Amino acid sequence: MNSNKIIRSICYFSRTVDGVAATLSRLADNVQTKGFEVQAQRVCVPWQSAAILRQLDNSILTSIGSVPFERVGDHLETFYARENLFFNLDLTSGLVRDEHAQLLFDIIARNPSRTFNFTYVFNNVPSSPYFPSAHCAREGFAIGLQPTDLSEGCTTLDAWLEKVERVWQELCGIFGDDPEFLGIDSSIAPFGNGKGSLVDFVRRLGMTFSESVTTDLYLRITNFIKNRDPKPVGLCGLMFPCLEDFELAAEYELGNFSIERNVYLSLHSGLGVDTYPIGVDENPKRVLEILSLLRGLAAKYDKPLSARFVSDGKAKIGEKTNFGSRYLKDVVVWKL
């Protein structure tokens, strides 16, 4: 019987790749024998150590963390060539400039599928096992769940969160004595529809998504995950991945998840703009404006925010995407 105990990511942070694949395999085997499903094994290395990438098995999802803008060009050819390579651009300091926004459009033009592998970050925190925000600051491993699946059969928020807390405690029981265990990123990371969708859970509570936006529901969730996680690490926030939560994607198509609503939810409970569709004919000035706003809000409220826009390289504003990806739901793209 499926227990819905889904680990989205086990990520090992290291300055070397020696033995990393074997370590990840051992960690995954350990939790799988306890009834967990492991979706992805990942490694995050500092961008300064990017030369070691050629030693890695291409099957391992790999991040080089936060790359300074002036060094991004050094890694772009490898980034385009390797399907499993991720990185982020940290714009916390200084002004957001035209060339920062233009980087996104260059990726769209060169290899649009890689927009999924890239994000802008502000006030980013290290050791999150979720990509592309992951950043290596110390060695060890962190775990991130897909906790929305645990909501199956739950008709109240408390019932779901009690299940989530029990799984956190179980993981700490398994790894608590391991000196390399950095902790659990308690972020709520939805995926798919039905039990995997946060929006579907909201409906099971008797609300429409639009109604839920002006309740304290998301504040209650984030208060719980920040204060009850027994070993917190990383972002520990609420994700609103527009195209990965398929029910949220449907709300987007209906006009119920505008960029303004996304930013509003991110400001009080969320982590930013995630897998948000962008048309190939979008005005780069709009991206610049949104990035500048997120930077200002992250500074004002001292919280991590990010922006991951995705494109299939063809769909214009008003046209439907064709990502060809099981991770992203196709939608008609709206103007930002």
Does 291 fall in a domain?
yes
> Of 73, 22, 117, 165, nearest to 308 (Cα)?
117
C-alpha to C-alpha distance for 207 and 283, rounded to whole angstroms: 35
Does 94 fall in a domain?
yes
Contact 183, 232 (CB under 8 A): yes
Does 285 fall in a domain?
yes
Domains of the chain: total: 1
Category of 114 on φ-ψ map: left (φ > 0), alpha (ψ -120 to 50) or beta: alpha
Task: Note the pLDDT tens digit of each residue in 183-211.
Answer: 999 999 999 999 999 999 999 999 999 99
Q: Which domain holds residue 19?
A: 6-310
At residue 91, the pLDDT reads 97
Does 280 fall in a domain?
yes
> Of 199, 195, 192, 197, nearest to 326 (Cα)?
192
Does 58 fall in a domain?
yes
Task: Evaluate if residue 21 carries a pLDDT over 90.
Answer: no
At residue 54, the pLDDT reads 67
Does 132 fall in a domain?
yes
Does 115 fall in a domain?
yes
At residue 253, the pLDDT reads 97
Q: What is the pTM of this model?
A: 0.94
CATH number at residue 125: 3.20.70.20
